[in-house]
A and B are shown apart, each in its own frame.
Chain A
Amino acid sequence: MNTSRRDILQAMMALPMVSLVASCGMGGAGKAVMGKDELAFLSSLSDTMIPTTDTPGALAGKVPQTLGELLNSWASAETRGRWSTTLAALKKELDGDKAGSFQAADAAERAKRLGKLDAAVFGSNEHPLKAYREVKSTIATAYYMSEPGANEELRYEAVPGRFEGSAPLGKTWATS
């Protein structure tokens, strides 16, 4: 009995929201807390995925903080372990020959590397790094639910006051 985006998407793609378990196939051991390095990588990843452009990006929306909190206080040790494994695999892929090179690279270079990985993962249903989809989806959720994400990148009305079913087209609403 609701029309949330999640339902529509699930119906469309028949994909469970928390698809990491089913899809990543690299379930690691449980993990107590996310490491600093992992969070730093996640920060770099978020910034590359959703950079500041004409509108604020993931860093302005405090996405790394939200994800850190989510992984440390929402996720179970098992989920955290899986994320850890996924992040390590992503980091390795993005660093290529030289460890640490992704985070050290400039924005253009990071975008080039991530863009390539993104295209490869979305180009196939069986990509070994398909757990990336879950990471991306979580980053996006944290961004669009942030204050700048909802208010500046998209549109948000806390109190619309009325409903119109055939309103003029405009930017995406942050919530439905």
Chain B
Amino acid sequence: MSDFDAIVVGSGMSGGWVAKELTERGLKVLVIERGKDIDPLKDYSDMKQPWEKKNLDRVAEDELKRDYAVQGDVYAMFESNKHFWVKDIDHPYESPEDRPYKWRRGYHLGGRSLMWARMSYRLAPLDFESNLKDGHGVDWPIRYEDIAPWYDKVETFAGVSGSKEGLAQLPDGQFLPPFEMTAAEKVLKERLEANYPTRKMIIARSANLKTATEEHLALGRGPCQSRNLCFHGCSYGAYFSSNSATLPAAKRTGNLTIVTDAIAHSVNYDAKTKRVTSVNVIDANTKEKRTYTGKVVFLNASAIASAMILLNSKSEAFPNGLANSSDQVGRNLMDHVGGTQVTGIVRGIEDKYTFGRRPTVSYIPRYGNVTEKDKPYDRGFAFQVYSGRSGWYGERPGIGQEFKLANRMPGDWTITLDPMGEVLPYSDNRVTQHKSKTDKWGMPIAYIDATMRQNETALMEAAVADAIEILTKAKIEVLNNPDPKKPNVSPPGQKIHEMGTARMGRDPKTSVLNGWNQAHDVPNLFVTDGAFMTSSAAQNPSLTYMAFSARAANHAADLLKEGKI
């Protein structure tokens, strides 16, 4: 007899969904989480006023350098929420000297669903066909139609605010009302769309409850108050996280057990039944070892961590790691690529300002190789668009009353285009087990060897040139004038969208998972975090992880019911 019907490793964005769906189907589920429990009352800092925050909310310099060498420059990390980020000193990994990888993580209940920026986009039909068309990577085993109903389901439950636009490259979904654009965004939208019939600017689609439905209210979630404090946790439960939404839903079924401070070490495989049987765990505090048995195992530790668990699960049948007969586990590591931001001043709207702090931005969906062809790159990029009036700042001349008055009224409206491009799957962008080094718990640390390449650079070159042209044609004066030949090209990991390390595919020889996120080699093993992604598309990926998680969980529940696994 198994301890549980199902074991889910990881309680973050994807694991929360698996736990919710499986428990709602009546299965007894254990969630294994390596990090600590989260208590909103103690751990959220959204109720602190600016003047109550220690050291202007800056993490002490020595501490930052010593403990947070990788996490330290994430824009969403502050003194008051630093406990949401791993201490790099405790969680080492290595990369080649000349190819740094930025692995941004939070180990606690809810994972990075607690700190994410909530941008929620569907992949489009064309994204599921891109690999087949241009030959990079392998073909996705499913198509948009297969996942569309699951997008509907997760959007409705999570609560995604957005506008319907009818775009082929960014399918509409089940949206709550959109947030309003700022005056500056409205100006750019109008001029962009007049100047380029092939381009659109829309309000970003964001997992914040612009309004709350009965379903949201029943989980104790309330509407968003426009405070823009989401990186601190939300006491209103107004943005989607495992903590606010999926785990409470799973708990109320009475079928959920959570163990925190429990590090999944490996998964045991029975060669006779050709099934996985149990998960080995190390207690994060006492280092004591335990094993939990389950009829089905879901890995949701996030793309790199799940690959590491598979690689660490060696047996006679799988000497190179569980479900790794294809040798694809750990390969094809993708992220998105970021580049140079271009900023301009929008004039003629000096009589307008904002009220409230909108927790989202605007967005120019991808047009390259969609509505505009013959680009010097494959795939494409989108722009996130930020705007606002500059507020007070210290580095301006003047003292006394003059200085005070200058800051008392807002300055110029500025608008910034921030590109984010698709990254191709390269089989040697890869995570492996470090040959000699282990962490405090005796587990091999990750060796991450990945780099951006020619196509990613070409995307970011075009993004700089396009952004300058977009603003200039819109008669918006460009403030910084970056050289399109020398764009920033973000190192992998920087966009915090790691994926692809156990890709889906049709052929067990070249992929790890089938079209149901089920391991080709092991029918009762599923991976539904970003590891399954066969290509990265240009969209922020988490909504896609949610939809695939819900779909795979329901498929697994069907198979269990039918006695097939």
Q: Which residues of A contact B (CB under 8 A)?
A: 1-5, 7-9, 11-15, 48-51, 53, 55, 66, 69-70, 73-76, 79, 111, 114-115, 118-119, 122-123, 133, 136-142, 144-147, 150, 153-154, 156-176
Set of chain A residues within 8 Å of B384, measured between Cβ atoms: 1
Contact A53 B404 (CB under 8 A): yes
Set of chain A residues within 8 Å of B59, measured between Cβ atoms: 74
Contact A164 B388 (CB under 8 A): no
- The distance in angstroms between the C-alpha atoms of A122 and B53, with both chains bound, is 30
Contact B394 A141 (CB under 8 A): yes
> Given A79-B61, A145-B50, A153-B404, are A12 and B414 also a contact pair (CB < 8 Å)?
yes
Most buried by A among B58, B65, B395: B395
Set of chain A residues within 8 Å of B454, measured between Cβ atoms: none
Set of chain A residues within 8 Å of B479, measured between Cβ atoms: 11-12
- The distance in angstroms between the C-alpha atoms of A137 and B396, with both chains bound, is 8
Pull 28 A–B residue pairs with CB atoms less than 8 Å apart, ordered by A.
Answer: A1-B119, A1-B386, A2-B117, A9-B393, A9-B395, A12-B479, A50-B400, A74-B58, A74-B61, A140-B393, A140-B407, A145-B51, A150-B49, A153-B404, A154-B407, A158-B227, A160-B355, A161-B225, A161-B356, A165-B183, A165-B186, A166-B180, A167-B352, A167-B353, A167-B355, A170-B353, A173-B353, A174-B391
Interface assignment of B113: CB less than 8 Å from any CB of chain A: no
Set of chain A residues within 8 Å of B416, measured between Cβ atoms: 3, 7-8, 11
- The distance in angstroms between the C-alpha atoms of A83 and B409, with both chains bound, is 30
B387-413 to A contact mask, C-beta < 8 Å, 1/0: 110111111111111011001111000
- The distance in angstroms between the C-alpha atoms of A55 and B48, with both chains bound, is 24
Set of chain A residues within 8 Å of B403, measured between Cβ atoms: 49-50, 140
Set of chain B residues within 8 Å of A154, measured between Cβ atoms: 391-392, 407-408
Residue of A3, A48, A139, A168 near B394 (CB, 8 A) is A139
Interface assignment of B217: CB less than 8 Å from any CB of chain A: no
Q: Which of B32-84 contact A (CB under 8 A)?
A: 49-51, 53-56, 58-62, 65, 75-76
> Given A7-B386, A11-B341, A159-B227, are A165 and B51 also a contact pair (CB < 8 Å)?
no
Set of chain B residues within 8 Å of A55, measured between Cβ atoms: 404
Q: How many B residues touch A, CB cutoff 8 Å?
A: 68
Contact A165 B358 (CB under 8 A): yes
Q: Which residue of B lies closest to A79 (CB)?
A: B61
Set of chain B residues within 8 Å of A5, measured between Cβ atoms: 388, 390-393
Set of chain A residues within 8 Å of B527, measured between Cβ atoms: none
Contact A14 B56 (CB under 8 A): no
Task: Quote the shortest CB–CB distance from B99 to chain A (angstroms).
Answer: 24
Set of chain B residues within 8 Å of A114, measured between Cβ atoms: 399
Task: Quote the shortest CB–CB distance from A125 to chain B (angstroms).
Answer: 12
Interface assignment of B432: CB less than 8 Å from any CB of chain A: no
Contact A162 B390 (CB under 8 A): no
- The distance in angstroms between the C-alpha atoms of A150 and B408, with both chains bound, is 10
The B contact surface, by secondary structure, is loop
Set of chain B residues within 8 Å of A158, measured between Cβ atoms: 49, 227
Residue of B49, B56, B225, B227 near A142 (CB, 8 A) is B56
Set of chain B residues within 8 Å of A70, measured between Cβ atoms: 55-56, 58
Set of chain A residues within 8 Å of B58, measured between Cβ atoms: 70, 74
Q: Which residues of B contact A (CB under 8 A)?
A: 49-51, 53-56, 58-62, 65, 75-76, 117, 119, 179-183, 185-186, 225-228, 341, 343, 349-358, 361, 384, 386-388, 390-401, 403-404, 407-410, 414, 416, 418, 479-480
Set of chain A residues within 8 Å of B119, measured between Cβ atoms: 1
Q: Which residue of A lies closest to B384 (CB)?
A: A1
Contact A169 B353 (CB under 8 A): yes
- The distance in angstroms between the C-alpha atoms of A40 and B226, with both chains bound, is 40
Task: Quote the shortest CB–CB distance from B8 to chain A (angstroms).
Answer: 28
Contact A49 B399 (CB under 8 A): yes
9 further contact pairs, Cβ within 8 A, besides A49-B399, A122-B397:
A2-B228, A3-B388, A3-B416, A11-B479, A50-B403, A114-B399, A158-B227, A163-B355, A165-B180
Contact A8 B407 (CB under 8 A): no
Residue of B56, B341, B358 near A66 (CB, 8 A) is B56
- The distance in angstroms between the C-alpha atoms of A61 and B397, with both chains bound, is 21
Residue of A8, A50, A74, A138 near B343 (CB, 8 A) is A8
Set of chain B residues within 8 Å of A168, measured between Cβ atoms: 351-353
Set of chain A residues within 8 Å of B50, measured between Cβ atoms: 145, 150, 156, 174-175
Contact A3 B361 (CB under 8 A): yes
Contact B399 A111 (CB under 8 A): yes
Contact B386 A162 (CB under 8 A): no
Contact B409 A172 (CB under 8 A): yes
Set of chain B residues within 8 Å of A50, measured between Cβ atoms: 399-400, 403-404
Residue of B181, B400, B408, B480 near A171 (CB, 8 A) is B408
- The distance in angstroms between the C-alpha atoms of A48 and B403, with both chains bound, is 11
Among all A-B residue pairs, the 6 with the closest Cβ atoms: A140-B394, A137-B394, A160-B356, A122-B397, A163-B356, A167-B355
- The distance in angstroms between the C-alpha atoms of A133 and B509, with both chains bound, is 61
Contact B61 A49 (CB under 8 A): no
> Given A3-B361, A53-B404, A175-B357, are A163 and B390 also a contact pair (CB < 8 Å)?
no
Task: Quote the shortest CB–CB distance from A132 to chain B (angstroms).
Answer: 10
